[in-house]
Amino acid sequence: MSTASEVTLITGGAGFIGSNLADRLCRMGRRVLIYDNLSRPGVERNLEWLQTEWGDLVDVEIGDVRNKSSLSKAVKHAHSVFHFAAQVAVTSTLTDPVHDFEVNVGGTLNLLEAIRSMSDPPSLLFTSTNKVYGNLAQLTLRDDRTRYRPEDSWVSSHGISEKSPLDFHSPYGCSKGAADQYIIDHVRSFGLPFAVFRMSCIYGPHQFGTEDQGWVAHFLIRALEGQPITLYGDGKQVRDILFVEDLINAFLLAEKNIGTAAGHAFNIGGGVANTISLLELVEFIDELRGIPTKTISEEWRTGDQRYYVSDTSKFHAMTGWKPTVGVFKGVERLYNWLSENTPVAQRKAVS
């Protein structure tokens, strides 16, 4: 096992965001400890990639954040922590909200308390969600052909800021929001070096998206497999999407500036320059493939926001960060990666 002065702990590190962060850190010569229970389908492939690529720079501990003992042992080796381990599917939280609470709230509190017990606590960055703002029903929207647009000119120009009232929707929103608030309060109450990212939609390589989480990759995978895409609601929902490389840049800046970032929550996403609706993504996928994609319409899902775009000006003012990868270039890059790395693509390569 690596020494404490050398290791960055990434809970949920075998997942999409965690594996991309681990890769970047290893490229910088930093050692990482991935703590993951491998519950998400496909993450073993990410671990295999990281270990093949980086060898001894990557330590792996198979563990669950609900296990206080193993989590405490992992934290002892860390000088910096990125906390991504979570139950992430909104639909699953509606089926089993207790499990959702135990992982997202209980697991996070286990980690915070393990860090608080250390004589030299590491910094921690937590990935929260835009769902802490609820369904934003107070926004007045106009209905264009392919998307909703806010009537409020300030929201249209800037997006949703951290000043928006918290309004947790769905058990998932409640559990992530509670964890978000525990982290901010651990800074207030105990002076710990923690910060929160309230994230919009992240996409990029090594994302094997599902209908419940990772919708950009999920749409691309369905299209590549020749399967229909299900649109919940009317498909005019708008999100700002952020390419994972830009998110990693933000992580590293937050870590570097943790002295000023501690105690703050930041809305992080592609911002107003990088928005797309579900219908617009389907249209772009059709352009990439040269053939139309079949869609299926279903009812709106609980807590779905018709419009969410991050106002990232607070984090930009503190660190100078801004996205560099545009929507269409980023989606095309993910499409090309998935074309070579999905099971369907691999079967075609063999046949």
Give CA–CA dist 2/224, Å, rounded: 41
Distances (CA, A) of 336 to 64, 74, 205, 288, 330: 33, 36, 9, 10, 10
Give CA–CA dist 52/167, Å, rounded: 43
Q: Is the pTM of this model over 0.95?
A: no
Contact in structure between 61 and 34 (CB atoms under 8 Å): yes
On whether residue 284 sits in a domain, the answer given is yes
| Structure token digits, residue 277 | 């609706």
Evaluate the CA torsion angle 243, 294, 43, 126 in order and state its sign: positive
On whether residue 74 sits in a domain, the answer given is no
Question: Among 312, 330, 233, which Cα is nearest to 277's?
Answer: 233
On whether residue 247 sits in a domain, the answer given is yes
Contact in structure between 201 and 240 (CB atoms under 8 Å): yes
Contact in structure between 109 and 180 (CB atoms under 8 Å): no
Total domains, the chain:
1
On whether residue 75 sits in a domain, the answer given is no
Alpha helices in 89-201 (DSSP H): 90-95, 97-101, 107-116, 153-158, 170-190
CATH number at residue 215: 3.40.50.720
DSSP 197-251: EEE-EEE-TT----SSS-HHHHHHHHHHTTPPEEEETTS--EEEEEEHHHHHHHH
Q: Residue 153 contacts by C-beta under 8 Å, 6 or more apart in sequence?
A: none
User: What value, to the nearest 5°, has the Cα angle with vertex 68 and ends 33 and 209?
Assistant: 55
Q: What are phi and psi of 170, to 5 degrees?
A: 70, 155
Is 232 labeled as catalytic in the residue annotation?
no
On whether residue 159 sits in a domain, the answer given is yes
| Structure token digits, residue 7 | 């290791």
On whether residue 162 sits in a domain, the answer given is yes
Evaluate the CA torsion angle 168, 171, 176, 179 in order and state its sign: positive
* Candidate list 35, 133, 148, 172, residue with the active-site label: 172
**Per-residue pLDDT for the chain (351 aa), expressed as one digit of tens each?**
444 457 999 999 999 999 999 999 999 999 999 999 998 878 899 999 999 999 999 999 999 999 999 999 999 989 999 999 998 776 677 788 999 999 999 999 999 999 999 999 999 999 999 999 999 989 999 999 999 999 999 999 999 999 999 999 889 999 999 999 999 999 999 999 999 999 999 999 999 877 777 899 999 999 999 999 999 999 999 999 999 999 999 999 999 999 999 999 999 999 999 999 999 999 999 999 999 999 999 999 877 899 999 999 999 999 999 999 999 999 999 999 999 987 655 444 434
Give CA–CA dist 47/33, Å, rounded: 11
* Residue 273: domain span: 86-343
Owner of token pair 């219908």: 279
On whether residue 55 sits in a domain, the answer given is no
